[in-house]
Structures are given as C-alpha cells and as structure tokens.
Amino acid sequence: MVSELERTMQAKRRRMIQTTNFLLFLTMCAFVVFRFIQLGLSHPPYPAIMCAILTLANSMYLYRNGSLKIACGLMAAALLFGLGASSMNNGAFAGPTVLLGTVFPILAVLLVSSLAGWIAMGLVMAILSLLFVLELNGQILPSPLDEQGLLIARFLAIVSTVSIGTWVAVIFAKYQQELIQIINNQANTDHLTGLANRRALAAALLQETGRARRNDTYL
C-alpha cells in the first residue's frame, strides 16, 4: 500500500519532470527559430525539430498521467538523438550542440537515480567519443552558421544548460528539504494522536536543560 508521503513525493517528482521536459521543449524551439532566422527555410534543423516534437509529445503523455519511467526514457532518447544528430550537422565540437550534453547526466541523477546518471554519462561519453573520432577524420559537416551566428548559438546553448541544470538542482534541493521536514515530523509525533512522542520529549528536555544552565536558573 502506497503511503501518503510516497504519493506526495511522487506527485512532486512528476511535476518536476513535466516542467523539465517543457523547458527542454522551449529550448529546442528557440534553436529552431534561431536557425530559421539565421539561414532561412533552406536549411531546416531536422534534429532540433524532431527533438521538439518528441519533448512536446512527452509533455502531453505526462499530462495524461503517463508512466514516469517511460516519460524519462523518452526524454533521454530525445536528448541523446539531438546530441548525436545535431552535432553531426553542426560542426561537432566547433558547434553549439555538444554543450547541451553536459547537463544530461545531471538531469538523470536528479530526476531518476544515481544509476541512471552513470548510464547517461556513459552514453554521452560514447557519443562524444564517436564525434571526436569522426571530426578527426574529417567526416563531420561544418556548421552552416557564420562566425557571429555560431557565437550566438553557443551563447544560447550555455545559457540553456546553466538555466535548466540550476533550476532542476534548486527544485530537487527544495523537495529534499520538504521530505526531511516531513520525516522529522513523523519521527517526533505519535501517528494515532498527533502528540509529541518520547523522542520529541527528550529533545525538548535537552533544550530546556541547556537553557536553564545558560541562564543559571532552575529547570
């Protein structure tokens, strides 16, 4: 039987994953718009468009109370696809897309688990290593953006990575503090009556004893 605490934390985690997914969707849309502004309709950014579609579909799936495991898997697939495919067409390490790969393991740790973070790091490292080898052998297409456009794109990538990573870390820390507070309340109160239990009484006596000693008064 799922406890009230587990249901509450599950709902908070769902909202965090939903918001993160939506932020990724907005990031992809921003890159698509920027690409069209810079190069027109003759160079459509298919990887970014596909990632935007996947993240939008994932948001709708979560909105309909879809499985969190499946939603996290779809979000991971979209990020990995975008990292690999977009880097192939945008100059790899000379382009902006590889900068987004740094936030993927962090999101996996905070949104899923430590194991998911290690797996995400391994996948990102594999993709980056493949891109490195391909670029060394001259098999990576150069970025179609000019120097100024490339600078702007890299700026957008860094800002997006820092913003999403910071937001997820802050929300995760907030939820962790709330969880600690709930656990402390449950540990110090009687479940049936809601009154302070022996553990809370011992802590209160210790605090009041210290207060009496500092003020040189009777307890």
The 10s digit of each residue's pLDDT in 22-49 is 888 888 888 888 888 888 877 788 888 8
pLDDT on residue 189: 85
* Rg, C-alpha atoms of the chain: 24
Amino acid at 208: E
**Beta partners for 189?**
196
Specify the pLDDT at position 36.
Answer: 87
* Helix 4-39 / helix 147-188 crossing angle, nearest 10 deg: 170
pLDDT tens digits for range 97-151: 888 888 888 888 888 888 888 999 999 999 999 999 988 888 887 888 888 888 8
- Percentage above 90 pLDDT, the chain: 6
Cβ atoms of residues 97 and 56 within 8 Å: no
Token pair listed for 86: 């977009």
173 neighbors 125 (Cβ within 8 angstroms): no
Using CA atoms, how far residue 60 sits from 2, 10, 12, 56, 78, in Å, is 25, 18, 17, 6, 15
Three-state SS at 140: coil
| Domain ranges (residues) in the chain | 4-188, 189-219
Q: Which residue from 40, 38, 36, 58 is spatially nearest to 48, judged by alpha carbons?
A: 36
3-state class of 46 per DSSP? helix
| Predicted model pTM | 0.75
